[in-house]
Amino acid sequence: MLGAALPPLLVAAERLASVVSLGVHGRRKAGMGETFWQFRRYQAEDPATAIDWRQSAKSQHLYVRQREWEAAEAVWLWRDGSPGMRFKSDFSRTTKIDRASVLCLALASLLVRGGERIALYGDGHGPATGRAPLRRIAHELIEQDPQAGGLPPDAPASSNAQFVWFSDFLSPFAEIEKSMRRLAHEGLTGHLVHIIDPAEEDFPFSGRIRFEDVPGSMRETLGRAETVHDAYRERFRAHAEALSAFARRLGWSYLAHRTDKQPELALVALYTDLGGTRAQIRRA
């Protein structure tokens, strides 16, 4: 099960990530990096291989080339795995949870490429960089309990980190607000990615319909569904706006993504929000 589902998810995520080219943002100080920072005088503890012979040949001294230290930031990722996420209407080709997982992994892949440290919020591991956490996160996303709640659990996180929250945000607003406050209090800067199925937003129903939620515990029968069309859309818009407004108040970003839209746009927007640096869709 795991082995079967993992590669497609990873492949989809890698393919998505590969269409985005990004610039690595420098830390403006010497360190592990690709870009040149400064030459400094050779000291005894420096390895001989670190000597830049070409620069040293210009003068009496030996010089060591120092590169800019590209400091990686910790990014906590969290994807909502509640049953409602597994919904797919006839107007979309993918479930919300799949789209969220792909976006989450693609973002993780991009971050790893940029040298950032990533971690899945709530899985007990700290932020790390490289391919290993990427695979682990993919495992976690697939293995996650299908009955998980729609809100991030109360888990430790390093402060001054980023927090990316993939969800459909269909829990009661008060609960969402509470979670956001708690995370903000921990010093995290949040990014809400609101995954929306087109049917949830457009409400393209008419006739006599019995609506059920995913666990099947609640139901609502409408004699003529078309009559509530406008009222529902108004409510949905209000909910999204409340979410967006509260995020802005916390200094967080908010991104709405419909599953019938291309995920690349969302990824680029998200990455730009996250890093504050340029990223663009690579044109082949």
Partner 1 sequence: MTSLFASLSFTTPWILAALAVLPVVWWLLRVTPPSPRRIVFPPLRLLLGLGGREETPARTPLWLLLLRLVVAALVIVALAEPMLGQPPKLGGSGPLVLFVDNGWTAAHAWDARQAAMSDALTSANRAGRPVAIVPTATALTPNVSLLDAGSALRATRELEPQPWLPDRARAAAALAKIHFATRPEILWLSDGIDQNDARKTAAALSAIGDLQIYGDAPGKGPLALRPAQNEANGFSTIVFRADAHGSRGGEIAAIGSHGENLMSAQFRFADGASVATARISLPLEVRNETARLEIVNENSAGGVQLLDLNARRRAVGLVSASSNDEQPLLSDVYYLQRALSPYADLHKGTIGEALSRGISVLVLADVGRIAGADYARVARFVADGGVLVRFAGPRMTENVDDLVPVKLRTGGRYLGGAMGWASPQHLAPFPDSSPFRGLAVPPDVTISRQILAEPSVELSDRTWARLADGTPLVTAQQRGKGWIVLFHVTAGPSWSSLPLSGLYVDMLRRVLALASGASPGDMGSGASAVYPAFETLDGFGRPHKAPADVLPIRGMEIGKIKPGPTHPPGLYGVEGAQIALNAVGAKTFLLPIRGLDLRTYSGSASIALEFPFLAIAIALLFLDALISLFQRGYLSLPRRLVAGAGTVLFLAAIVHPVPSRADDAFDMQAALNTRLAYVITGIPDIDQISKEGLTGLGQALRARTSYEPMEPMGVNLEIDDLSFFPLLYWPMDPREKDLSPKALAKVADYMRNGGVILFDTRDLSLGAMEGPNSPGEQTLRRLVSKLDLPPLEPIPSDHVLTKTFYLLQEFPGRWVGGKVWVEALPPADPNAGPRPARGGDGVSPVIIGPNDWAAAWAVDDSGRHLFEPVPGGEDQRELAGRFGINVVMYALTGNYKTDQVHAPALLERLGHGP
Extract the tokens encoding 104.
């989450």
Smallest distance, partner 1 to C-beta of residue 202, A: 12
CB 173 within 8 Å of CB 242: yes
Find the shortest distance in angstroms from Cβ 229 to partner 1. 10
Residue 36 in contact with partner 1, rule: CB under 8 A: no
What contacts 274, CB < 8 A, 6 or more positions away? 75, 107, 111, 162, 164, 191
Is residue 239 part of the contact set for partner 1 (CB under 8 A)? yes
Binding residue count for partner 1, defined by CB under 8 A: 32
**CB contact burial 96-113 (16+ within 10 A = b; e otherwise):** bbbbbbbbbbbbbbbbbb
CB of 196 to partner 1, least distance (A): 9
Q: What's the min distance (Å) between Cβ of 243 and partner 1?
A: 13
Provide the β-strand partners of residue 191.
Answer: 164, 253
Secondary element (H or E) of residue 210? strand 209-212
Q: Does residue 170 contact residue 100 with C-beta atoms inside 8 Å?
A: no
Per CB under 8 A, 124 contacts partner 1: no
Q: Which of 208, 251, 276, 284 binds partner 1 (CB under 8 A)?
A: 208
Q: Does the footprint of partner 1 cover residue 41 (CB under 8 A)?
A: no
Q: Is 80 in the site for partner 1 (CB under 8 A)?
A: no
Window contacting partner 1 (CB under 8 A); options: 53-61, 122-130, 186-194, 222-230: 222-230
Note whether 98 binds partner 1 by CB under 8 A: no
Residue 85 burial (CB count, 10 A) = 26
- Is 87 a binding residue for partner 1 by CB under 8 A? The answer is yes
Q: Residue 154 or 234: which CB sits closer to partner 1?
A: 234
Nearer to partner 1, 42 or 236 (CB): 236
Per CB under 8 A, the list member of 34, 46, 175, 212 interacting with partner 1 is: 212
Cβ-based neighbours of 145, under 8 Å, separated by 6 or more: 81
Dihedral angle, C-alpha 162, 265, 95, 213, nearest 10 °: 70
Q: Which position among 132, 214, 245, 281 is part of the footprint of partner 1 (CB under 8 A)?
A: 214
Does residue 232 interact with partner 1 by CB under 8 A? yes
In this structure, the number of other CB atoms found within 10 A of the CB of residue 87 comes to 18
The verdict on 219 binding partner 1 (CB under 8 A) reads yes
Interface pick for partner 1 out of 172, 249, 262, 282 (rule CB under 8 A)? 172
